[in-house]
Structures are given as C-alpha cells and as structure tokens.
Amino acid sequence: MPRVLLIEDDLSVREGVALGLRRRGHEVRTAATGEDGLAAVDEFHPDLLLLDLMLPGVNGVEVCRRVRERSQLPIIMLTARGDDFDIVIGLEAGADDYIVKPARTEVIEARIRAVLRRLDAPGPGPGRSAVEAHGELVLDRAGLTVSKAGRVLALAPSELRLLLHLSAAPEQVFSRQQLLEHVWEHSYHGDARLVDACVRRLRNKIEDVPGSPRYIQTLRGFGYRFGPL
C-alpha cells in the first residue's frame, strides 16, 4: 500500500485521518508543522503527501512550493470549506488535487488512489510509436518522460497525464469536464480550477512563451486542445 505523509496541525483531524488510512493498510507518518513535514519528506520518502494549507510557521502553500522545487511527489491539499483563494494558490504552487475538510476516510482513500493511478499514464496505442516528437517537444509514453530541446522536464503527475491525454488526440478539443473525468477521475461536475491551474503550470514548463502557447491551445467557451503550431 502507498506510504502517506500527512501534514496537519489540527490534532483531531490528524489522528482521525491517520487512523482511517492505517486501517486501510497504509503506512502513515504525520507532522503538525510545515518544518517538521519538510523534514519528514526526506526521512520517510512517502508515495504521496496529504497537506493542510493552514499550517503554523511555514504554511502549506510554501511547503508545496518547496517540495515541487526538488520532487514530483504527488500532493493532495486539505482545505477548509470556502477557502477558494487558498485553493487557487495551492494549485498554482503545484498541488495535484484537493479535498475539502471534513472528508470521510473513503473519500480520501479514493482520491489517493486516483492521484497515484495518474503515475500509470497511458502508453502508446496500437501501431503508435512510444516516442513522439512535436518540434522541440519529445514525449516518451513508455518511459513517461517529456523533454524539450534535449532537456528532460520535471512534470508533476497531473501535468504529465494531462499532456499525454491531450497529445494522444491532436487537434481534438476536450472540455474541462472531460479532462476532469479522464485525468483527475472526477465523475461529478467537478472544479474547473484544477484543469486551468494545471494547464498554466504545464504551459510554464513546455511553452517558449506561456502567454502565446504553441502546444496547449485554449478554445474559449469549449476547452483545450493539443495542436503544435
């Protein structure tokens, strides 16, 4: 089972979530502060980070940024209901998904499994090469790597899966809801902020000029498509 690091300052939430995940077979390490959580990332080597945004000292957004600077560890934010601004900031910092507290353990478990499944990104289809070159951008679907001008790019799990999904059907337009269902596995009418924040982060990594994208294009009112210009 995946090893989970939970960084949460509320004792009751921390103990409740940890207990529920342990009962489902996870090995769980907890931390109450951002500083302790960052140290635990290096010591525990988790498969996934559950991260509260409202932490004392080093807050959750800063923890997310620091982790993203050195690792593509999957990150799920825990946020209080109504903290819309914090949600956007957390997603922009590199979180892969978020859960609004309070949440049942089965909901957290399902979201953990969905995020980790994104690491098993789709391989090449029948008769399709595992390696695709789109100008300077090279996608290796078998090796799950993306490079540009010969330099391997560090993509978070959601960024990689989004890019591979869009590029599997060049010129096809995908709505935000379709992308939520295929990339994030959100079957309900989900939150478009997940898609938009991930697109912005991805553009910052693969585009020469993120404000004038060549690869991931917006069709206003419809969604996104992959179509190298």
Q: Give per-residue pLDDT as tens, 135-151.
A: 889 998 888 889 999 89
pLDDT single digits (tens) 64-116: 999 998 888 999 999 886 667 777 888 888 899 988 888 899 989 988 988 88
- Whether cis (ω within 30° of 0) applies to the bond prior to 102 is yes
Residue 211, by phi and psi: left (phi above 0), alpha (psi -120 to 50) or beta?
alpha
pLDDT of residue 228 exceeding 70: no
What pTM was computed for the model?
0.80
pLDDT single digits (tens) 7-40: 999 999 999 999 999 999 999 999 999 999 999 9
Cα 137 off chain centre by: 21
Predicted local distance difference test score (pLDDT) of residue 229: 55
pLDDT of residue 51 exceeding 90: yes
pLDDT of residue 211 exceeding 60: yes
How far from 96 is each of 19, 52, 147, CA to CA, in Å? 23, 13, 21
Q: Can you tell me the mean pLDDT for 33-59?
A: 93
Predicted confidence band of residue 127 (pLDDT cuts 50, 70, 90): very low
pLDDT single digits (tens) 107-125: 899 889 888 876 655 554 5
pLDDT single digits (tens) 151-183: 999 898 889 989 999 998 888 999 999 999 888
What tokens appear for 227 in the block? 């179509």
* Structural domains of the chain in order of their starting residue, each with its CATH number: 3-117 (3.40.50.2300), 131-226 (1.10.10.10)
**Cβ neighbours for 93, distance < 8 A, ≥ 6 positions apart:** 61, 62, 64, 65, 68
Closest C-alpha among 57, 47, 35, 39 to residue 119: 47
What tokens appear for 25 in the block? 């077979």
Mean pLDDT for all residues in the chain: 87
Q: Are 61 and 86 in contact (CB under 8 A)?
A: yes
